[in-house]
Structure formats: structure tokens, C-alpha cells
A = this chain, B = another copy of it.
């Protein structure tokens, strides 16, 4: 029995849900908000961060730790390349996604969707402009260079690299931002391929329902 604690719109929770869908594992979801400092949640997430995975009574926080745990507990459809160099490249792209891409992409979603829709607060347009015009371009350019012209980020099937890159891009997309196909042709095509996949389609429909759009 698998439970994911955390709202699906968090790029880190989304990573875990994408991996579970890829592996074909059923799970239930408890939509904990980031920063929940209740006693019950603090016990399973000392930094009050989401997601936390619960599996048959065992719990662990941290999306990267969770993904590794899932791959070892459910080795079918592995998400880590077996060759050490390919795995290092994939894990580095996950780390880059978790840090630079989240920092520059997720605030677009937060400002344009979360603040007006959930908190009844205005969008900080200057911050959105700063993200889109200043911070995102070098990050997207780096990813565009790192990606192949076709297929997955590393190797011949979905890996931790794809999960780490696609998840924050989905946050940006919720905020009406898509990488420009002329400036970042490989990245834009890669993201379109990801969006067309069954697992991302399923994840999107769950998220849109959560946002009250569908």
C-alpha cells in the first residue's frame, strides 16, 4: 500500500507521482501543503517539506530519496540507467531540475495561479518578468544543449532525468509559460513529446482537477 503525502502541484510531489505512474503502481494521495508544521506531519517530514512516501508503514521524505527507494523496492521499469556514467548524467539532470529549473520555473506557476486562485492575492508581475526574461533563459539554454534531438534525456527509456526536467516544466506550463521552439528547439520538442505521453496526460488531468479547472 503506497501513499503520497503532498499536493500534486508541487514539482517534487509530481516527480514521485510520475514515477509511480510510470511503474504502474497504485497509490493514494493526501494533499498536504508544503510547510505543514503539524505534529503528525513533522514526525514524518522533519523539514516540513513535501512529498513524503508511505509504503506499508515505512515513511521517507525527499523526492530524490523516494525515487531511489521506489526503484529498489519495485525494480521493474527501472528509472536509473545501469551504466554508472549514464546514471551520473541522469542524476545530475535531476539535481539541475530540482534546483535551477524549479527556482526559475515554479514561481511563474505560484505567482500566476496559486496566489490569485488559492490565496486571493495579486500576481507579482515584476517577479514573473524577472523569471521569464532573466533567470529562465540560461537554464533552458543549458537543458536544450544537454538534450538529444529525439527520445529521452538519457538512454532509450524514461529515467530520473526526464522526471526531474519535465516536472518543473509542467509547473511553468500551468502558469502559461512554454519554452519557445525557435530559441530552444530540442527542449521544446522534448517537452511536447513528454506532454503527449500517457503518464503525463494522466498526471495533468489529476492536477487540473485539483486546481478546479476540469
Q: Which residue of the partner chain B has the closest CB to A68?
A: B91
This chain's copy number in the assembly: 2
Cβ of A65 within 8 Å of any chain B Cβ, yes or no, is: yes
Are A62 and B92 touching (Cβ within 8 A)? yes
Residue A69 at the B interface, CB < 8 A?
A: yes
| Contact indicator B95/A62 (Cβ below 8 Å) | yes
What's the interface size class on A, roughly? 20 to 34
* Interface of chain A residues 73 through 90 with chain B (CB within 8 A): 73, 84-85, 87-89
Q: Give the CA-CA distance A78 to B62 in the complex, in Å.
A: 22
CA distance A99 to B64 in the complex (A): 14
> Per-residue 0/1 for A3-40: is the Cβ within 8 Å of any B Cβ (1 yes, 0 no)?
00000000000000000000000000000000000000
State the Cβ distance, A6 to closest chain B Cβ, in Å.
Answer: 16
- Report the minimal beta-carbon distance from A200 to chain B, rounded to whole angstroms: 25
The CA of A64 and the CA of B96, in the complex, are separated in Å by: 12
- Residues in chain A within 8 A of chain B (CB atoms): 46-47, 58, 60-62, 64-66, 68-69, 72-73, 84-85, 87-89, 91-92, 95-96, 99-100, 142
